[in-house]
Structure 1
Amino acid sequence: MAGTAGSTGTARQLGTGLADDGGAAGNGPKTLSIIGCGKVGKTLGRLWHAQQTFQLLDVLNRSVASAQQACNFIGAGAAAASYDELRNADIYLIAAGDDQIAACCEALAASGKLNSDSIVFHCSGALSSHDLAAAGLQGAALASIHPIRSFADPQQVALHFAGTWCGSEGDAAALAVLTPAFNAIGAQAVNIKRDSKVLYHAAAVFASNYLVTLIDVASQAYVEAGLPPEIALKLIEPLLLESAANAFKLGPAAALTGPIARGDMATVRRQYQAVQQWDPQAAALYRQFELLTLELAARKNGGTSPTA
């Protein structure tokens, strides 16, 4: 979603219960419009529409055709062709890609749609609500609520969204509305520090992306030791799954096993030397994990280092 959209007009159909200015009539659900309605926006929009949590007004995407496809998936809303076409909504979700969120927010702020009663939020894991500062200057309450899951298949995610954890931070006025809205579709919101949002996202990278990289390094080491690649993965799978299950059940310190946990540092030294001869880059990784695992083993042993 770019900071501006095309100028082609679209037919406007007011939803039931909406006033001409796009506001909610009576005491009905708050109104919502979505800017940059890709997989995340479509999924959340569909869930909120099904639960009647929000009344979807408009969807603004790079093209009217894309916006209409999103509306069709959600089952509600009208495709807007520009920021000027957006009706006044209580809440605006900017669900564009990370690199476009600030630009979209600036364009929304410049459109004159925002006031002190508005809420603007995004669902990025890497950015904080500070990146919506342009909306804040117009008086809007700001928030970031990040569902911690993959949205590769929006239809499947919509069916199985219940139980999804969401890292949330932002202004109290925004969270007072958005937290119950996410709870209504089965999410479990957990507060995080606004200024630590990048570290929060790095934690997810450690738990997901870097775990995959670690599996690849282990697989390469097995192959270097003479095993076929497909057998290497079969050896890794039970080790990884059982270790992860124990860590989640017992806690990381109690679940730790292996040479460092036993204090067998001579084995650790031999392993490091073998990895160093094979791949110095992997050896640097091994060494860093050794240092961190020594700290974990000390916690397991009540503060006593295995090297003591």
Structure 2
Amino acid sequence: MLKLNLIGPGRLGQSMARLAQLSGQYQIAGVLARTPAAHKALDFIGAGQAVTTLSALPAADLWLLAVPDSAIAAVASELAQAGVVAAGDVVFHASGALDAQQLAPLRAQGAQLASVHPAFSFADPARAVATFAGTLCAIEGDAVACARLQAWVSDLGGVPFALQAGGKTAYHAALSMAANYLVTLAEVSLQTANQAGIAPEMAQRLVLGLMQQTLNNIVAIGPAAALTGPIVRGDSATVAQHLAVLPSQYRVLYQVLGQHTQCLAGERLNPQQQQALAQYLNNQ
């Protein structure tokens, strides 16, 4: 049975450690617990030896640094100085934005380095543990570490997939645009619906219902086939009317997204339609 050390028993860390414990495939060896909240997390995990310094962590096969992104490099350096990681151990962090190179100080000790990012919200550890099954988890780093962590993710109920070398930042940008900008677009659309005099409750049903239907279509037939509306129809007159009623900050957003929508429409637009649309969408 492989042993796991946890550094950073926050919501993600304690959830992953609890899942490892429940899998029956891993033994929680040590948990760095310096605060009352960390000791409470240890109770949730249900296993592991609480320690207060990195140098006191016991031997382990897997080392999870579930600390804030800004602290990963510093903790990795401190862990290397502590001299407790052995050659062949797998050390990994769970940042969505940063890659395994953040752990570089540990390479001199023979550690295998990687990152594992579950595309999942760990807002509540108990709920996270209950609903984690099937979660996609991006893995990148050293080949040996990635192979071992693919098995680890699978044992926890997740679905591992590999990122190519150097792909972590683009991966995180993709998730950020998909999640964060969808929220922003929803808010802009709701504000514009309110501008039309639609009551907030009805605007919610109208805009969010259409967004959900569109997402379902994207899943079923792909983005290009799911595209509808005036741009893919080459209706530049309607686009011009939209731009005329939008406030300046929304107009720029409409135009930037419209340019990419025009590209997605591609050959469905003839040259005259392309030119007419560009007249409005490129004029910022």
Counterpart in the other structure of 1:199: 170
Structure 2 match to 1:289: 257
Aligned to 1:57: 29
User: In the alignment, which residue of structure 2 is the partner of 1:184?
Assistant: 155
Structure 2 counterpart of 1:95, from 66, 84, 97: 66
The AA in structure 2 aligned to 1:227 is I
Q: Is the 8 A contact 1:67 1:80 kept in 2?
A: no
- 1: distance between equivalents of 2:21 and 2:86? 24
Task: Name 1:39's counterpart in structure 2.
Answer: 11
Alignment match of 2:238 (pick from 247, 267, 273): 267
Match of 1:174 in 2: 145
| 3-state SS of 2:153 partner | helix
Change (3 A) 1:214 1:140: same
The match for 2:198 among 227, 231, 249 is: 227
List per-residue Cα deviations over 1:157-195 (Å, max 9, x = no partner).
111111100111011111121111111122111111231
Is the CA contact 1:128–1:194 (under 8 Å) kept in the aligned structure 2?
no
- The one of 239, 246, 252 aligned to 2:223: 252
- Which segments of structure 1 move beyond 3 Å, counting only runs of 4 or more? 303-306
Structure-1-length-normalised TM-score: 0.85
Measure, in 2, the Cα distance between the counterparts of 1:96 and 1:75: 20
Moved more, 245-254 or 226-235: 226-235
> Which amino acid is the alignment partner of residue 156 of structure 2?
I
Q: Give the SS at the match of 2:144.
A: helix
Size of the aligned set, in residue pairs, is 274
2:274 aligns with 307
CA contact (8 A) 2:214 2:226 kept: yes
- The aligned residue for residue 67 of structure 1 is 38
Given the alignment of the two structures, is residue 104 of structure 1 paired with residue 75 of structure 2, yes or no?
A: yes
Give deviations 1:253-287, integer Å, cap 9, x for gaps: 00001011111111112211221xxx211111100
Q: Deviation string for 1:116-139 (max 9, x for gaps)? A: 211100111011111111112322
Query: Structure 1 residues 83, 256: closer, same or farther in 2, change over 3 A?
Result: same
How far apart are residue 101 of structure 1 and its match?
1.1
What's the secondary structure of 2:170's corresponding residue? helix
Superposition deviation, residue 304 in structure 1: 5.7
Structure 1 residue corresponding to 2:112, chosen from 141, 162, 165:
141
Map 1:3-42 onto structure 2 (within 5 A). 29-42=1-14
| Worse-matched range after superposition: 223-232 or 263-272 | 223-232
Query: Aligned pair in 2 of structure 1 residues 281, 137: CA closer, same or farther (>3 Å)?
Result: farther
SS in 1 for 2:75: helix
Alignment check: 8 A CA contact 1:46 1:73 kept: yes
Structure 2 residue 143 is the aligned partner of structure 1 residue 208: no
* Cα distance between partner residues in 2 of 1:73 and 1:198: 32
- Match among 86, 101, 113 for residue 115 of structure 1: 86
Give, in whole Å, the separation in 1 of the partners of 2:201 and 2:21.
45
Supply the distance in 2 between the matched residues of 1:49 and 1:209 (Cα, whole angstroms).
Answer: 33
Other-structure match for 2:211:
240
Return the letter of the residue paired with 2:3: T
Q: Secondary structure of 2:85's partner?
A: coil
User: In 2, are the aligned partners of 1:247 and 1:255 still within 8 Å (CA)?
Assistant: yes
Once residues 245 and 59 of structure 1 are traced to their aligned partners in structure 2, the CA distance between those partners, rounded to angstroms, is 42
CA distance in 2, matches of 1:39, 1:76: 16
Q: Which has the higher helix share?
A: 2
1:46-91 C-alpha deviation (Å, 9 max, x unpaired): 111111221111111442x333212211110011111121112111
1:3 maps to what in 2? none
CA contact (8 A) 1:129 1:194 kept: no
CA distance in 1, matches of 2:205, 2:85: 55
Contact 2:137 2:159 in 1 (8 A): yes
Q: Distance in 2 between matches of 1:62 and 1:251?
A: 48
TM-score normalised by structure 2 residue count:
0.92
Whether the 8 Å contact between 2:34 and 2:51 is mirrored in structure 1 is no
